């Protein structure tokens, strides 16, 4: 690996957030020497990013499928939402990887190094020494986007959203409705927490089927695989299918601690709270941060940490997560109440961080007051204990 002695910016991790920042710097014709270090030596179609959209955006051309109908169901009820303003969009990771890496390769001063494992960073007053296996590089700024950036293990979170899924091809006779997403189907709770089924009909016979679980602690891959088999059997019955690929992931919902930005090091991505705590959606939020970070760097400033949500949104998310974590058996009822009370576009706006006051009031009115008032009380008490600890 040929490296200079000194770089302007080093990005650790070439996943969603790392590539997003590198892409923005490449498109901005950076006069900075930028190096991205990614442990993988090649990219695969390993995940799918979905989000609600209400107009054109930087990745509109990469969206592989859109839907205006999304469904919810539990043991006793099923309902559909039909968006007017919003659509639900699906973006394949391999398309995103190829798009970003092509722009990076075309930029003379932005470099992506695959198969490059980073061993550690030593921060000094003027720069950071980044050390790898058989190489090292000094940088003015380091942006660490790796999920294990702080400790090499999963950060502490109020809840974990874990999923395991398969993209399958059905026999033509067993096709499904291609125009409606099963956003939260078969919602239920068991000894392991709250779980539901998520189905994207990519065509009439091509489906992405994922079992999803919210739990206080991450569960084992074997447990998730058993959940997936159960859900597939219930959803498809005796229909025959061929597995095309698999995907899995773990999303922190409500980080208890976040890394602190220093003069030379910034943390981004999941470890820095890039995903919405109450929903797990993060793709659009990551792209917004990347644009702001690239703009600051191109203008000669420091790389900013991901922006905090407004106070009202942080409070709502904290109270909701607390309520679900303390009573996961009630979560199916909570989500069905929300789905019934909000219109399709109000629901999509909330999930996208574009909620309005009428939508917020309708969401609050949908939820049972007693458990959420108790959750709010616990949150207030925790904040007072934290404040007392700081003052003392």
CATH of the domain at 166: 3.30.9.10
Distance CA 125, CA 140 (A): 10
Distance CA 170, CA 199 (A): 13
330 and 289 part of one domain? no
334 and 378 part of one domain? yes
DSSP annotation of 1 reads -
112 and 243 part of one domain? no
> What confidence tens digit (pLDDT) does each residue in 296-322 have?
999 999 999 888 889 889 899 999 999
> How is 232-290 classified by DSSP, letter by letter?
HHHHHTT--EEEEEEEEEEEEEEES--PPP-SSEEE-SGGGT-S-TTT---HHHHHHHH
In this structure, are strands 6-12 and 69-74 parallel, antiparallel, or unpaired? Answer: unpaired
Q: What is the CATH number of the domain that holds 29?
A: 3.50.50.60
Residue with tokens 């409705």: 177
> What confidence tens digit (pLDDT) does each residue in 230-270 have?
999 999 998 999 999 999 999 989 888 778 889 999 999 98
37 and 110 part of one domain? yes
Give the residue from 241, 276, 298 where a domain finishes. 298
Asked, for residue 380, whether it belongs to a domain, the answer is yes
Phi, psi values for residue 103, rounded to 5°: -65, -40
372 and 322 part of one domain? yes
319, 376 Cβ separation under 8 angstroms? yes
235 and 330 part of one domain? no
269 and 362 part of one domain? no
Residue with tokens 């003052």: 391
Asked, for residue 350, whether it belongs to a domain, the answer is yes
β-bridge partners, 50: 90
Distance CA 336, CA 187 (A): 9
Which strand (E) or helix (H) includes residue 60?
Answer: none
Nearest to 354 by CA among 48, 52, 17: 52
Residue with tokens 């494992």: 117
38, 149 Cβ separation under 8 angstroms? no
Asked, for residue 121, whether it belongs to a domain, the answer is yes
Domain of residue 168: give its range: 157-252
Residue-wise pLDDT tens for the chain (392 aa)? Answer: 789 999 999 999 999 999 999 999 999 987 899 999 999 999 999 999 999 999 999 999 999 999 999 999 999 999 999 999 999 999 999 999 999 999 999 999 999 999 999 999 999 999 999 999 889 999 999 999 998 755 555 668 899 999 999 999 999 888 899 999 999 999 999 988 999 999 999 999 999 999 999 998 888 999 999 999 999 999 999 899 999 999 999 998 988 877 888 999 999 998 888 889 888 899 999 999 999 999 999 999 999 988 888 988 989 999 999 999 999 999 999 999 999 999 999 999 999 999 999 999 999 999 999 988 888 887 776 655 544 444 33
134 and 161 part of one domain? no
Distance CA 93, CA 125 (A): 38
270 and 136 part of one domain? yes
Tell me how many domains the chain contains.
Answer: 3
187 and 293 part of one domain? no
Phi, psi values for residue 66, rounded to 5°: -130, 150
Nearest to 53 by CA among 43, 41, 40, 62: 62
- Integer angstrom CA distances of residue 368 from 76, 248, 258, 335: 18, 33, 31, 11
18 and 143 part of one domain? yes
289 and 241 part of one domain? no
Asked, for residue 366, whether it belongs to a domain, the answer is yes
Asked, for residue 58, whether it belongs to a domain, the answer is no
């Amino acid at each position: 690996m040929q490296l200079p002695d000194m770089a302007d910016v080093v990005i650790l991790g070439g996943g969603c957030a790392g590539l997003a920042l590198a892409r923005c710097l490449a498109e901005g014709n950076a006069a900075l020497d930028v190096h991205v270090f990614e442990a993988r030596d090649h990219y695969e179609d390993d995940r799918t990013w979905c989000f609600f959209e209400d107009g054109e955006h930087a990745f509109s051309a990469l969206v592989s499928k859109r839907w205006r109908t999304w469904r919810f169901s539990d043991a006793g009820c099923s309902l559909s939402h039909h968006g007017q303003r919003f659509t639900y969009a699906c973006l394949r990771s391999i398309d995103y990887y190829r798009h970003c890496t092509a722009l990076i390769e075309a930029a003379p001063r932005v470099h992506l190094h695959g198969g490059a494992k980073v061993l550690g960073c030593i921060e000094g007053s003027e720069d950071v020494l980044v050390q790898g296996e058989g190489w090292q590089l000094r940088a003015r700024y380091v942006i660490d986007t790796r999920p294990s950036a702080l400790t090499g293990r999963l950060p502490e979170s109020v809840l974990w959203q874990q999923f395991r899924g398969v993209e399958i091809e059905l026999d033509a006779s067993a096709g499904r409705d291609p125009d409606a997403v099963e956003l939260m189907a078969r919602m239920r709770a068991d000894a392991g927490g709250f779980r539901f089924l998520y189905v994207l009909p990519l065509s009439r016979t091509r489906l992405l089927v994922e079992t999803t679980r919210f739990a206080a602690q991450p569960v084992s891959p074997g447990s998730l695989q058993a959940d997936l088999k159960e859900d597939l059997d219930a959803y498809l019955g005796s229909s025959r299918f061929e597995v095309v690929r698999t995907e899995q992931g773990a999303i922190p919902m409500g980080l208890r601690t976040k890394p602190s930005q220093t003069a030379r090091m910034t943390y981004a991505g999941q470890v820095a709270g890039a995903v919405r705590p109450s929903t797990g959606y993060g793709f659009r939020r990551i792209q917004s941060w990347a644009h702001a970070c690239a703009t600051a760097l191109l203008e000669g400033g420091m790389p900013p940490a991901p922006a905090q949500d407004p106070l009202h949104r942080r409070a709502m998310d904290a109270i909701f997560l607390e309520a679900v974590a303390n009573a996961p058996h009630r979560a199916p009822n909570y989500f069905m109440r929300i789905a019934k009370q909000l219109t399709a576009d109000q629901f999509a706006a909330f999930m996208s961080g574009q909620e309005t006051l009428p939508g917020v009031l309708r969401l609050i009115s949908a939820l049972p007051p007693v458990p959420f008032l108790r959750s709010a009380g616990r949150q207030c008490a925790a904040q007072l204990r934290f404040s007392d600890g700081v003052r003392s």
